[in-house]
Structure 1
């Protein structure tokens, strides 16, 4: 394995093909990056792909290759994780918990600081563990809490980074894979969401991927560890009512006319809507509904998240207006990719 050296430290990056990993990779221009990939290799200037499996000791590499890699890496950025709510607990824990333990062992061997991407929603301890839903966010959140604890217990020099929901680039809206919030807002744009299991004043906390990448790269460059950084909208997160307004405004700019969805309680969904309308749907449609319901459940918090990423040099807190612009950019990109703009032109 040949690794060219750039002025900055050599970084081992996991999850480079995912939403966060791709955004981070795009900002590591002054560093040599080794991407640990499970299937698809990652290419680019001064990027090396190493095929490995986080759920295996030494990533499944032979001892010589593992030692060679450890001797070359200066910093570890750990973005890989299962984030889907419908994946079973065994698979989720394999990657999110055991995978983090494997990364910790590597960081110890390499004597490298670790920057670990967790989630702000680890604070949600009150999610139900009963019911018919196929989407179980508590499984994902339990795994992230266990991973964080493993880091604290390890003695490895580390930072824990806790973003809320990640959306596309703040200017272009581009993203490698659409996420749960895209699905909800996309259903709004299609006029396929007659009701929304939220209250109008509920904060919808999200951050654009380029902000999160700047935070991670800023921490790498600062060389400081031992911190926990909340990368969230916090007090500036827009309300569910405002998100609906922005979606309607965007739809109008495409020539679409949307019906405003009715805001309903999750109790109403469980008692009335699910037994009558949802349980009889085909499996695929029922799963999409469950995914939406699980996502909206996360936003039911009494207090806003902390937001502390402005402690990083050169990074400022985004305002509500900034977040609203980022949301609109994401949904404009979504509508373009999904051909909603073309459909609106045909309808006109």
Structure 2
């Protein structure tokens, strides 16, 4: 008689990491997904409509009690990540949602696996918080949510991924990520200036590599600790990312003029005050402001710590694999809406877009969308 599988409750299942986690975990667990608006329509999961900000998740009391009685562990991925949202809404969603899931964990006696972000290590200066209130609210709320997990009376694991790339085999991703717009614009030659110096690091990890590490932790019975799901010392430098985008663009036509890489201190002191003035078109002002906000948060001079490759925490991608992965994701983006249709000149070779690595079992990728 087959052994009954443990019940894993997942929030944010319709998101990028949520879908990758369903792929990773559905073989070993019975997955229950809480959803608010977006249905998953995935036969591998059981969906329950809920509101994380309401007492007992907005469920009738009997339903909440039955859910708590059957849940064995919780993976909490749901979060407000749109920095254009009102800061108070971002804070309320990320703190209230975490508190609601911790309440369920307490009732269920279940450990919490909390998806935070590596960029809690990048606190913003006061003038940056004023200029970029959405990013500031996001980082502050994730930092405070981590503390809620530490203070809770149930076991908790804090997971800190960096920028999430597309799948390491297909290059696809479930939703458009902020940084992808910047890289797509570089490929199209639409970015004359990129905020940040050439040698800062852009830490990106494929969604299935992150999901694999989470799966290893869950299956390994790890129920405490903080894990950095990052490329760390292997992360690409900004100039390497830009070069890969320009080389990829040559498959479709002349190589775009390379953007000028401007240190962030010059961006804050000179470029942003200039562009925010009345002489620049509103569309240009919004675009550059978005790029500066994203890259302000996503850049690091020193590498993150990385837990990938440590016991029960997946595999560590190499720098070469990450660069090859970026090419594969560019290839996936190029065939989609807003990609390079109509500009086709050559297909990326198999050498440039490698298949699954024989050493790590993965080839890391970055999906781009317009």
Alignment of 1:81-92 (within 5 A): 81-92=79-90
- Give 1:209's aligned residue: 207
Between the aligned partners of 1:250 and 1:196, the Cα distance in structure 2 is 18
Between the aligned partners of 1:49 and 1:155, the Cα distance in structure 2 is 27
Secondary structure at 1:322 match in 2: helix
How far residue 282 of structure 1 moved from its aligned partner, in angstroms, is 5.4
* Contact map agreement 1:85 1:140 (CA 8 A) in 2: yes
* Contact map agreement 1:85 1:291 (CA 8 A) in 2: no
Between the aligned partners of 1:45 and 1:312, the Cα distance in structure 2 is 32
* Contact map agreement 1:160 1:229 (CA 8 A) in 2: yes
Between the aligned partners of 2:147 and 2:123, the Cα distance in structure 1 is 15
Match of 2:5 among 3, 8, 17: 8
Check 1:205–1:314 CA distance in 2 against 1; reply closer, same or farther (3 A cut).
Answer: closer
* Contact map agreement 1:170 1:325 (CA 8 A) in 2: no
Flag structure 2 segments of 5+ consecutive residues without an equivalent: 347-370
1:245 aligns with 2:247: no
- Give 1:27's aligned residue: 24
Between the aligned partners of 1:318 and 1:7, the Cα distance in structure 2 is 34
- Give 2:51's aligned residue: 53
1:307 aligns with 2:293: no
Secondary structure at 1:159 match in 2: strand
Secondary structure at 2:222 match in 1: coil
* Contact map agreement 1:57 1:102 (CA 8 A) in 2: yes
How far residue 41 of structure 1 moved from its aligned partner, in angstroms, is 1.9
Between the aligned partners of 2:20 and 2:117, the Cα distance in structure 1 is 16
Check 1:249–1:228 CA distance in 2 against 1; reply closer, same or farther (3 A cut).
Answer: same
Deviations 1:33-83 (A, max 9, x none): 111000122222341110001111111001000011111111100000011
TM norm structure 1: 0.92
Between the aligned partners of 1:108 and 1:204, the Cα distance in structure 2 is 37
Match of 2:260 among 259, 262, 270: 262
Check 1:299–1:37 CA distance in 2 against 1; reply closer, same or farther (3 A cut).
Answer: closer
Secondary structure at 1:253 match in 2: coil
Check 1:321–1:7 CA distance in 2 against 1; reply closer, same or farther (3 A cut).
Answer: farther
Check 1:282–1:7 CA distance in 2 against 1; reply closer, same or farther (3 A cut).
Answer: farther
How far residue 171 of structure 1 moved from its aligned partner, in angstroms, is 2.1
Match of 2:141 among 139, 143, 152: 143
Between the aligned partners of 2:298 and 2:67, the Cα distance in structure 1 is 41
How far residue 285 of structure 1 moved from its aligned partner, in angstroms, is 4.6
- Give 2:290's aligned residue: 291
Deviations 1:157-200 (A, max 9, x none): 11110001111112211001121221110110111001111111
Flag structure 1 segments of 5+ consecutive residues without an equivalent: none
Check 1:273–1:150 CA distance in 2 against 1; reply closer, same or farther (3 A cut).
Answer: same
Secondary structure at 1:333 match in 2: helix
TM norm structure 2: 0.87
Between the aligned partners of 2:129 and 2:222, the Cα distance in structure 1 is 44
Alignment of 1:1-348 (within 5 A): 7-30=4-27, 31-130=29-128, 133=131, 136-280=134-278, 281=280, 283=282, 285-313=284-312, 315-345=314-344
How far residue 125 of structure 1 moved from its aligned partner, in angstroms, is 2.2
How far residue 291 of structure 1 moved from its aligned partner, in angstroms, is 2.1
Deviations 1:13-45 (A, max 9, x none): 000111111111111222211110001222223
How far residue 112 of structure 1 moved from its aligned partner, in angstroms, is 1.0
Q: How many residues align?
A: 343
Between the aligned partners of 1:158 and 1:22, the Cα distance in structure 2 is 22
Between the aligned partners of 1:306 and 1:216, the Cα distance in structure 2 is 17
